[in-house]
Amino acid sequence: MNTQYVDLEVRLLVLKYGYNRVIAALSKAKGVSEHDIQIALLDTEKAKTKKRKARKKSVSEIAEKFVQKVPEKAAQLRELAGRFENRTFLPQMQDVRHFLIPFGIDPKSLKSRNDSAPKVFEELSKLPSNELEEFIAHPPSSESTFSELANEIIGDRNRSDASSNKANAADGKKPRG
């Protein structure tokens, strides 16, 4: 029988007969005391509450796990964790994927930035301190080489359009656009 129907029927029994009478009937049917039934119900409710309260660890908490393993890199890992949280280090999911691919991690298995944090910090913790310092000083670019090139070309074009428009305005001509 579907649990939704059982839940509904139990609620109807409680409404019709009252909680104490339903507990008494359950204890009689199971051959245990009413007190044991109530304890079992409380334990079930506590288990449900614990499941609901389980939260995901923050990036800092995840990084601390790796700090414990390599305490000599604690400052660098904490710095990168802070930057990861405020999105100044690997700010987008694509950046995380590009970072992890060289370590042999399948990018399709990564669902979100925060869910991939354990893998990021596991790999970071394996790197030498000088490479961690390099990440801190010069974080990996969040743009692909193609994006950087496109932005550079567009920027050059905008600058040349602006200078042409100024020259044309000085000559009394309409600006290009």
Give residue-wise pLDDT tens across range 61-73: 999 999 999 999 9
Looking at the chain, the whole-number percentage of residues with pLDDT higher than 90 is: 25
Question: Domain residue spans in the chain?
Answer: 3-53, 59-137
Spatial separation of the C-alpha atoms in residues 138 and 13, rounded to whole Å = 66
Predicted confidence at residue 19, as pLDDT, reads 87
The number of residues making up the chain comes to 177
pLDDT in tens, 128-154: 999 999 888 887 765 555 555 555 666
Name, in order, each residue with C-beta under 8 angstroms of 166's C-beta and a sequence gap of 6 or more.
Answer: none
CB neighbours of residue 168 within 10 Å: 13
Q: Name the one residue in this structure whose structure tokens are 């800092």.
A: 60
